[in-house]
Structure 1
């Protein structure tokens, strides 16, 4: 198992980007990424020289396409064939998600609360989702320095609400990267935990995201595990009924060495918070001098739990990183 640093929302000059795939891959490599998903608007033509770019840069490039409609943008990842976005209508996006799944892909809401038409055509999500079990993920952090943006805060709340309702939906970040212009703003990374049992890195990345094995950060990588009686459960796992306990030991770890030199939060005054359907269930101060943190948490009524790393960035107290959830089987 290994963590892979991914940027899951990018564009080239095959849609409205101002960069070639080679320029995009080289830029991503310079920023410490291992993988990018190319998600041009309504086209997959930018992938035509994917193999050559992967060989030249060492990047893993995942096939994708952003369905760009008047009613919302949906990122599809892992497709090997074009799946037509044009039949999508406000009351029936489920059929479109089903088609994506049928062709081996996964689907996520892109920047669901970004300002919409006419400023950004269709950027605000208006599709009605009939079955939230079919949606694979929500892009809860969009753009640079995403944690301070109000539209992202709404998306993060939407994800939390769906977790509270019992759905198992992953959360990701996406820069929505169009150009190689430098920025001093903090960039988010979605780390995917690859199982490496079968398939190439692209297949492993798609499988990891579909399973919710993801951790999102603007800096250090945070991971989480629950220790039950007979097993240890990690991000994206579900504790089965026979393993449910009145209390668990939760073990969080923070890797401050990832993408060394590409981020810096001096005087962050970190704190590590465990969040669940019951709200905050644990909190400790965190430091680059300490890697592992242990919590005793209640198991009664626990549906899900995640870790969040808080800190001060540019004078603002904000979320710096968060894990996806570990679930418990309740039905």
Structure 2
């Protein structure tokens, strides 16, 4: 057993948000088990890297993890523990003034990994709402922010997929924190349940979260956010700023270049009359494509998947889960999005250069140039140029919004 023990102080936190604790793994090691102990009110995150690269992250959701050749704790990559120098990485998230006594125990040898619960039966899919679209495209309902047991969620990937299908979604981005361990499951589970599961990673620090979309490998959250963007783009993915005005998870990092997406509608937007998210969008730039996400972690803790719903205008010929996942990324890349409160709520859609309003009337339409006028009836409306459009009710409460590429 290898033990690291000591007092973590505010000076440590000021010097770096991350503390590396190294240990050596000999050839032929059957497994690695790591256990972290510390006392509240401190909050420490934990993960690890081996000689071959990043192996996984628990954040503060777990204080124990194990890795073997065949399996690993959710959030970690299975595979034979390669010999050489490994590092336990502690995230110094909250350190009280008196400091935090912490101990990390590393055990080398046979390791116990929890067995996942059996996968649920595939539910019958709900009919997808038929919405007007530009020729060659069709709208699908999606949720672009969700979590599983691979980070701090409560459900397995199959359980989450089954719930999303039950809620009427055609696509779901699975965006666990600082890990891509869940990516290995997505294609098979998507095929089994008939839903496009979009690979994602919520790149997470205590000064901002961002979703990296695409099967692009792991993004190092310890690097500056500007590097997140350049790395994601170099690998062919898309980066979205998450819940920019959401309590202690608000976005507080400098970003010289704007990512192409921003999570304007997040489940933390409890009152639609609060104009903060729309004010952020206008100041950040309404040319940035808006997306929405439930940030689902588990029933009883968050909004259900699909609340809100991000509608994506995808290739009308893309139907299989794998094809649809790629088509969803293409739609995001092209800026073809609209957001409603849920799959059945009023929606404002960009179609053939104009807008189509469905399910609402007597509302105010705001354009990217600051113009506004009353949308007396549903149907076709003129767009006020390219960029974001917002529909509000007579009290100023947001009803629906969309991009306009």
Confirm or deny a common fold (TM above 0.5).
yes
Cα displacement (A) at 1:48: 2.5
Question: What does residue range 5-20 of structure 1 map to in structure 2 within 5 Å?
Answer: 5-20=141-156
Higher relative contact order (CA 8 A, sep 6+): 1
Cα displacement (A) at 1:282: 2.5
Report how many aligned residue pairs link the two structures: 262
Check if 1:169 corresponds to 2:272. Answer: no
Within the candidate set 47, 52, 60, 2:196 is matched to 60
Relative to structure 1, the CA distance from residue 72 to residue 223 in structure 2 (aligned partners, 3 Å threshold; closer, same or farther) is same
Correspondence for 1:142:
266
Correspondence for 1:31:
167
Relative to structure 1, the CA distance from residue 284 to residue 70 in structure 2 (aligned partners, 3 Å threshold; closer, same or farther) is closer
Which stretches in structure 2 are left out of the alignment for 5+ residues?
1-136
Give me the whole-angstrom Cα distance separating, in 2, the residues matched to 1:183 and 1:115.
Answer: 15
Q: Are 1:83 and 1:99, in contact at CA under 8 Å, matched by a contact in 2?
A: yes
Within the candidate set 253, 263, 273, 2:364 is matched to 273
Give me the whole-angstrom Cα distance separating, in 2, the residues matched to 1:59 and 1:141.
Answer: 22
Correspondence for 1:293:
380
Cα displacement (A) at 1:274: 3.2
Cα displacement (A) at 1:22: 0.9
Check if 1:204 corresponds to 2:359. Answer: no
Secondary structure (helix, strand or coil) at the match of 1:10 reads: coil
Partner deviation per Cα, 1:212-235 (whole Å, 9 max, x = no partner): 11000011232134xxxxxx43xx
Cα displacement (A) at 1:275: 2.0
Alignment root-mean-square deviation, CA: 2.7
Give me the whole-angstrom Cα distance separating, in 2, the residues matched to 1:252 and 1:277.
Answer: 13
Cα displacement (A) at 1:131: 1.7
Give me the whole-angstrom Cα distance separating, in 2, the residues matched to 1:294 and 1:173.
Answer: 23
Question: What does residue range 110-189 of structure 1 map to in structure 2 within 5 Å?
Answer: 110-116=242-248, 123-132=249-258, 135-143=259-267, 146=270, 148=272, 150=274, 153-163=275-285, 168-181=287-300, 187-189=307-309
Cα displacement (A) at 1:125: 1.3
Within the candidate set 226, 243, 252, 2:355 is matched to 252
Check if 1:320 corresponds to 2:399. Answer: yes
Correspondence for 1:119:
none
Correspondence for 1:283:
374
Q: Are 1:145 and 1:188, in contact at CA under 8 Å, matched by a contact in 2?
A: no
Correspondence for 1:120:
none
Give me the whole-angstrom Cα distance separating, in 1, the residues matched to 2:212 and 2:302.
Answer: 27
Relative to structure 1, the CA distance from residue 184 to residue 85 in structure 2 (aligned partners, 3 Å threshold; closer, same or farther) is closer
Partner deviation per Cα, 1:47-68 (whole Å, 9 max, x = no partner): 3222231122101000000011
Partner deviation per Cα, 1:256-293 (whole Å, 9 max, x = no partner): 4xxxxxxxxxxxx743433224423332223xxx5x23
Cα displacement (A) at 1:200: 1.9
Cα displacement (A) at 1:196: 5.1
Correspondence for 1:244:
none
Q: Are 1:273 and 1:280, in contact at CA under 8 Å, matched by a contact in 2?
A: no
Secondary structure (helix, strand or coil) at the match of 2:364 reads: strand
Check if 1:106 corresponds to 2:238. Answer: yes
Cα displacement (A) at 1:31: 1.1
Within the candidate set 370, 376, 392, 1:310 is matched to 392
- Relative to its length, the structure with more helix (as a share) is 1
Secondary structure (helix, strand or coil) at the match of 1:157 reads: helix
Correspondence for 2:315:
195
Bigger radius of gyration: 2
Give me the whole-angstrom Cα distance separating, in 1, the residues matched to 2:209 and 2:335.
Answer: 21
Cα displacement (A) at 1:97: 0.5
Correspondence for 1:265:
none
Secondary structure (helix, strand or coil) at the match of 1:104 reads: coil
Relative to structure 1, the CA distance from residue 125 to residue 65 in structure 2 (aligned partners, 3 Å threshold; closer, same or farther) is same
Secondary structure (helix, strand or coil) at the match of 1:9 reads: coil
Q: Are 1:270 and 1:310, in contact at CA under 8 Å, matched by a contact in 2?
A: no
